[in-house]
């Protein structure tokens, strides 16, 4: 019974993620797009929790929704972007491209792979899969080098941003 409820809940959250991402693309005012992108990231974080990845979910909320998207909203506030207007031909092309590509990729895939829609295909994992201890051990065991390179990248980005936004005196 609770398994069924979780399945229906996951369907609702997936539909919310897709709908919010769609609003990002078609919104007239970019600020609506930014806010619905934050909502889409939050629903994606719910999906991560359901996929046994709690640390990834929290990282996404803290860094992505809480850092990057807030930066976007600051810049939108500073730049004052105009509303976007879609002409009728553009709306037609947008929907046509979207649904056409969906049909042309999903139908052959479903025909060739013939998936078993009932089974979810999940491997059996330990209870602490995706927990912060396991995450930390896996990260520093095999991926210490990219981890350190990431810190170098972030320092380079800070230097770049400070240079790009200097005043020309």
- Taking the least distance from each CB to other proteins, the nearer of 1 and 79 is 79
Smaller CB separation from other proteins, 1 or 71 = 71
Dist CA 54 CA 46 (whole Å): 9
DSSP annotation of 60 reads I
Cβ of residue 133: shortest distance to other proteins, in angstroms? 11
Contact 94, 26 (CB under 8 A): yes
Q: Which of 6, 12, 97, 107 binds other proteins (CB under 8 A)?
A: 97
Binding-site size for other proteins (CB under 8 A) equals 77
99: tokens are: 């649904």
The angle formed by the CA atoms of residues 98, 102 and 104, to the nearest 5 degrees, is 115
Residues 140-169 that bind other proteins (CB under 8 A): 143, 146, 150, 153-154, 157-158, 160-161, 164-165
Q: Which of residues 106-125 bind other proteins (CB under 8 A)?
A: 106, 109-110, 113, 115, 117, 120-125
* Cβ atoms 49, 33 nearer than 8 A: no
**Other Cβ atoms within 10 Å of 24 Cβ, number:** 17
Whole-angstrom distance, CA of residue 162 vs CA of residue 169: 15
Residue 35 binds other proteins (CB under 8 A): no
CA–CA dist 47, 54 (Å, integer): 10
Which C-beta is closer to other proteins: that of 3 or that of 129? Answer: 129
CB of 169 to other proteins, least distance (A): 14
Residue among 6, 9, 92, 102 that touches other proteins (CB under 8 A) = 102
- Nearest residue (CB) to other proteins, 4 versus 120: 120
Binding-site string for other proteins from residue 37 to residue 76, where x marks contact by CB under 8 A and - marks none: x--xx--x--xx--xxx-xx--xx--xx--xxx-xx--xx
Distance, CA of 137 to CA of 142 (rounded, Å): 9
């Amino acid at each position: 019974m609770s398994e069924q409820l979780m399945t229906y809940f996951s369907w609702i959250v997936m539909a919310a993620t897709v709908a919010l991402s769609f609003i990002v693309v078609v919104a007239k005012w970019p600020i609506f797009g930014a806010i619905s992108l934050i909502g889409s990231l939050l629903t994606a974080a719910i999906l991560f929790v359901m996929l046994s990845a709690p640390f990834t979910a929290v990282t996404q909320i803290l860094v992505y929704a809480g850092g990057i998207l807030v930066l976007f909203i600051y810049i939108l506030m500073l730049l004052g972007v105009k509303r976007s207007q879609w002409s009728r031909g553009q709306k037609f092309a947008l929907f046509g491209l979207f649904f056409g590509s969906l049909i042309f990729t999903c139908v052959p895939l479903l025909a060739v792979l013939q998936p078993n829609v009932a089974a979810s295909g999940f491997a059996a994992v330990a209870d602490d899969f995706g927990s912060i201890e396991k995450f930390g051990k896996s990260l520093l065991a095999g991926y210490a080098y990219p981890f350190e390179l990431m810190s170098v990248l972030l320092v380079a980005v800070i230097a770049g941003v400070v240079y790009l936004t200097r005043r020309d005196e």
